[in-house]
Amino acid sequence: MMRCAVLGDPVAHSLSPVLHAAGYAEVGLEDWSYDAVRVPAGSLAGFVADLDPTWRGISVTAPLKREALAFASTVTGRARLAGAVNTLVRDETGWAGDNTDLPGAQAAIRERYAGPVRSALILGGGATAASVGLALAELGASALTLAVREPRRAAETVAALATHPSAPVVDAVRLEDVRASADVVVSTIPADAQTPDLVARCADAPVLFEVTYNAWPTPLVDAATGVVVSGLDLLVHQAVLQFEQFTGRPAPLEAMRLAGLAALAARAQ
């Protein structure tokens, strides 16, 4: 038996077990399992240190992505750039850290939208905002604005985005001061923080990237007039990359996507 899991807090809502299990079934990995395990902030290193050799891979979600960066024995350049690790894979040195959110976000956007990405407004300033912002810089965005409750608390993410080799112009503003005129609006904030005023100011963006897949559709999605990229799009594309790192096999993207859609439909009933 080979074991994998997603760790976070909260984590019971995660669709990752559904996606990975569907992938295992599709390619015939009958001895592989994937669970969701609640691991509070500050507990990641202790939890992983106690895992036996049957554990192969770990997906890391909030609030543990920056803890995972410090914990990993080796770290990829993109994870170092993002300042966050969402993927841990056991190797001969311990646990190797990667960030599949960054390439997963690129793939999710390009699957839905082929137009120019010159500027972006990102609602929120956490680890996911950093990864998606870097993905947008990879796609050509030269101006990135973070909209947060308190700009000083987004300093780490602003710094991470500014280190991208393309040297984008990065600034942070208060959510109440948002003036959306970007090619892409990214929301990493919960649905209950999407006030009518904020929604109205973001509704005309050519692309809305709503990173959640819970409480769907969010107020921003309901009001969007352009292309919508969903949190499930992001989850599937980054999970495909994790699956391949964990198993060493090509991932069955469509089987994983269909399993996620079915699970969301069941939740909505």
Are residues 54 and 122 located together in one domain of the fold?
no
Average model confidence (pLDDT) across the chain: 95
Are residues 15 and 44 located together in one domain of the fold?
yes
Are residues 185 and 221 located together in one domain of the fold?
yes
- DSSP letter for 180, please: -
Are residues 78 and 94 located together in one domain of the fold?
yes
Domain count, the chain: 2
Distance CA 39, CA 248 (A): 26
Are residues 224 and 107 located together in one domain of the fold?
yes
- DSSP letter for 268, please: H
pTM score: 0.93
- Domain of 257, CATH number, reads 3.40.50.10860
Identify whether the C-beta of residue 171 lies closer than 8 Å to the C-beta of residue 121.
no
- Domain of 152, CATH number, reads 3.40.50.720
* Phi, psi dihedrals of residue 235, rounded to the nearest 5°: -60, -45
- pLDDT (0 to 100) of residue 97: 98
pLDDT in tens, 188-210: 999 999 999 999 999 999 999 99
- pLDDT (0 to 100) of residue 53: 95
What is the radius of gyration, based on Cα positions, of the chain?
18
Are residues 76 and 113 located together in one domain of the fold?
no
**Enzyme catalytic residues:** 65
**Domain coverage including residue 8:** 2-99+236-268
Are residues 76 and 150 located together in one domain of the fold?
no
